[in-house]
C-alpha cells in the first residue's frame, strides 16, 4: 500500500467526525473513475473515497493526491486489487475500469461482499453479462449500473412528458451520439460502449425490449483507425414496432453531441445537444438553445453523475437500490441488445 499526500496537514478531529461516512473504493481512475472520486469528495455527503486501485500506479497516485486534497482525507492506494477487496473500510466499490473487465471486477466485488456501482456497460459480451448477472442475483450486494442518463433532468422530463399520454403513442426515436475523437475505438465498441447508452434509455423510456438491430455504414472519415467504421447508423425495432435510429460518430472533431428526438402521434420531443428538452406541437416550434458544445460527457452530464452518486450512497444507507438506477437486469438487457448489433458486423 502506498500512502499519498504525505505532507498534507490532517486534522484528526475532522477525520474522526467523518468516520461515520460510507467508505468507497474506486477501481480504475482514468477519466470516469477520477471524475466519480472527485465528485464523491466534493458533492456527496455521507461518503468518502477511502481507497483506489488502478493498473497504472502512477495514475492512481496522482488521482489519490487530488482526491485527498479535496476531501482532506488520506486515502489508500493499493498495488493489488485483492488488497482493496480485503479492506474492511471499503463498504462499496465503483468499477470504472475498461469495459471488458467490468464483469470480472463485479464478480470479484460480489465475492468480497461489497456493494457496487459498476460503470456501463455491464460487460462487453452477452456471455459475460449473463454469467455475472447470475452471480449478482444470488448475492446480497446492492448493485447499480452507471447509466447516468437516467439521472439527467432532460431525460427524466422527456419520460414524464411521454407518460402523460398527451402526445399520443411513441412511433419513432432518432438519437445522435458524437464524440470529438476516439483513437482506440473499434466498430463493435460503437455498439457495446456507445450505443449501449441509447439501448438502455430507449428501454427505460418505452418500457419494452429491443428485438432487432441492423447496422448501416456511412462513408468513412479519414480520422478513423483501421478497426473502425465511422460514422455508423444503428437501426433498432422494439417489441411494439417503434423504430429507433442511433447515429454514432466517434471522431466528429467539432464537438460532443448527445441528442434524442422522440416522434409521437402528436408531436416531436427533442433533447438538445446542450441538454434542454424542447417540444414541437400544434404548429409551434420553441426557440432552441445555442451555445458552445461540450468537449465530452463529463461537462454535459456532470449534474447527472452527481445525482447518480448521491442516489448510490442513499441506496447504501437505505439498503435498497434507488429507483432511478439501472439494475443488473437492465444492464443485461442492454448488453443483449448490443450483441444483436455486433452479430451484424
Ligand X SMILES: NC(=O)c1ccc[n+]([C@@H]2O[C@H](COP(=O)([O-])OP(=O)(O)OC[C@H]3O[C@@H](n4cnc5c(N)ncnc54)[C@H](O)[C@@H]3O)[C@@H](O)[C@H]2O)c1
Minimum distance, C-beta of residue 149 to ligand X, in the bound complex (Å): 8
Interface residue with ligand X, options 50, 54, 260, 263 (CB under 6 A)? 54
Strand order in the sheet with 143-145: 2-3, 76-77, 47-53, 22-27, 92-95, 115-118, 143-145
* Shortest separation between residue 305's beta carbon and ligand X, angstroms: 7
Q: Hey, which residues between 272 and 331 contact ligand X (CB under 6 A)?
A: 297, 301
Give the shortest CB-150-to-ligand X separation in angstroms: 10
User: Residue 85, interface with ligand X (CB under 6 A)?
Assistant: no
How far apart, in whole angstroms, are the C-alpha atoms of residue 281 and residue 264?
Answer: 10
Among 71, 87, 99, 236, binds ligand X (CB under 6 A): 99
**CA contacts within 13 A on the Cβ side of 3:** 5
Q: How many residues bind ligand X (CB under 6 A)?
A: 24
For ligand X, give the closer residue by CB, 31 or 253. Answer: 31
Regarding 216 and contact with ligand X (CB under 6 A), the answer is no
Cβ proximity to ligand X: between 99 and 257 the closer is 99
Residues 28-47 that bind ligand X (CB under 6 A): 28-33
What is 212-279 written as a DSSP string? EEEEEE-PPPTTS-TT---SEEEEEEETT--EEEEEEETT-SS-BEEEEEEEESS-EEEE-TTS-EEE
Instruction: Give the contact letters, 168-197, x = binds to ligand X (CB under 6 A), - = no.
Output: -------------------------x----
Decide whether 279 or 334 has the Cβ nearer to ligand X: 334
Binding range to ligand X, per CB under 6 A, among 98-106, 213-221, 223-231, 280-288: 98-106
**Cα dihedral 111/142/155/67 (nearest 10):** -70
Nearest approach, Cβ of residue 27 and ligand X (Å): 5
> What is the pairing mode between strands 210-217 and 257-264?
unpaired
Please pick, from the candidates 18, 43, 59, 259, the single residue that binds ligand X as defined by CB under 6 A. 59
Report the C-alpha gap between 167 and 199 in whole angstroms: 22
Q: Decide if 225 contacts 183 (C-beta within 8 A).
A: yes
Q: Which residue's Cβ lies closest to ligand X?
A: 30
* Backbone phi and psi for residue 279, each to the nearest 5 degrees, phi listed first: -120, 120
Give CA–CA dist 245/221, Å, rounded. Answer: 20
Q: Which stretch binds ligand X (CB under 6 A): 27-35, 133-141, 228-236, 257-265?
A: 27-35
Report the C-alpha gap between 317 and 4 in whole angstroms: 29
Residue given cell 465511422 in the structure block: 230
27 binds ligand X (CB under 6 A): yes
For ligand X, which residue of 23, 25, 144, 146 counts as binding (CB under 6 A)? Answer: 146
How far apart are the C-alpha atoms of 92 and 111, rounded to whole Å? 12
Contact residues for ligand X, defined by CB under 6 A:
27-33, 53-56, 59, 96-99, 101, 119-120, 146, 148, 193, 297, 301
Amino acid at each position: 500500500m502506498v500512502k499519498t499526500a504525505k505532507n498534507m496537514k490532517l486534522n484528526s478531529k475532522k477525520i474522526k467526525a467523518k468516520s461515520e461516512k460510507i467508505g468507497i473504493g474506486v477501481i480504475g481512475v482514468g477519466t470516469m473513475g477520477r471524475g466519480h472520486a472527485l465528485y464523491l469528495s466534493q458533492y456527496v455527503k455521507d461518503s468518502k473515497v477511502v481507497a483506489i486501485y488502478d493498473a497504472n500506479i502512477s495514475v492512481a497516485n496522482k488521482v489519490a493526491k487530488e482526491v485527498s486534497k479535496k476531501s482532506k482525507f488520506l486515502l489508500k492506494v493499493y498495488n493489488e486489487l485483492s488488497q482493496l477487496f480485503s479492506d474492511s473500510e471499503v463498504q462499496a466499490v465503483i468499477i470504472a475500469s475498461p469495459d471488458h473487465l467490468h464483469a470480472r471486477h463485479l464478480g470479484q466485488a460480489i465475492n468480497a461482499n461489497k456493494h457496487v456501482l459498476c460503470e456501463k456497460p455491464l460487460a462487453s459480451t452477452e456471455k459475460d453479462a449473463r454469467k455475472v448477472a447470475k452471480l449478482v442475483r444470488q448475492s446480497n450486494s446492492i448493485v447499480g449500473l452507471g447509466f447516468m442518463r437516467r439521472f439527467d433532468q432532460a431525460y427524466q422530463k422527456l419520460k414524464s412528458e411521454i407518460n402523460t399520454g398527451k402526445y399520443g403513442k411513441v412511433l419513432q426515436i432518432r438519437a445522435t451520439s458524437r464524440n470529438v475523437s476516439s483513437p482506440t475505438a473499434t466498430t463493435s465498441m460503437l455498439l457495446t460502449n456507445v450505443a449501449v447508452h441509447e439501448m438502455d434509455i430507449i428501454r427505460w423510456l418505452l418500457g419494452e425490449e429491443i428485438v432487432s438491430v441492423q447496422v448501416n455504414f456511412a462513408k468513412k472519415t479519414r480520422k478513423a483507425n483501421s478497426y473502425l467504421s465511422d460514422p455508423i447508423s444503428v437501426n433498432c425495432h422494439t417489441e411494439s414496432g417503434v423504430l429507433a435510429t442511433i447515429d454514432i460518430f466517434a471522431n466528429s472533431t467539432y464537438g460532443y453531441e448527445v441528442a434524442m428526438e422522440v416522434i409521437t402521434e402528436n408531436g416531436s420531443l427533442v433533447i438538445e445537444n446542450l441538454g434542454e428538452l424542447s417540444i414541437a406541437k400544434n404548429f409551434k416550434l420553441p426557440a432552441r438553445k445555442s451555445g458552445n458544445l461540450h468537449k465530452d460527457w463529463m461537462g454535459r452530464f456532470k449534474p447527472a453523475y452527481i445525482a447518480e452518486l448521491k442516489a448510490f450512497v442513499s441506496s447504501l444507507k437505505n439498503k435498497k437500490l434507488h429507483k432511478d438506477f439501472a439494475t443488473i437486469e437492465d444492464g443485461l438487457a442492454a448488453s443483449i441488445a448490443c450483441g444483436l448489433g455486433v452479430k451484424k458486423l
